Amino acid sequence: MDNTEGSLTEEQEKLCLLLKEQQGILASLNKDKTYWRIRLKKESMLKFMDLIRKHVLPSFSYKLLS
């Protein structure tokens, strides 16, 4: 074992905290089989979409919520 074990999860937790503190976006970690994933809370989805919209390529804009 080394000191990097769990670092990905720690980074994901930090990102969730930053999203909440800096943007007011609520997120949590969710384990899907073997991997941890960041899940945005339903009430934060539109705010997140508005935040990233200008960075999404036009060919992928159909994936964004209105």
Closest-CA residue to 17 (of 30, 7, 32, 28): 28
Closest-CA residue to 8 (of 35, 40, 41, 48): 35
Mean pLDDT value across residues 7-15: 89
In this structure, the dihedral spanned by the alpha carbons of residues 52, 48, 13 and 60, taken in order and rounded to 10 degrees, is -50
Domain coordinates in residue numbering, the chain:
7-63
pLDDT of 27-37, one tens digit each? Answer: 999 988 888 89
- What pLDDT sits at residue 35? 86
pTM here is 0.80
Q: Is the pLDDT of residue 12 over 80?
A: yes
Q: How far apart are CA 9 and CA 39, in angstroms?
A: 13
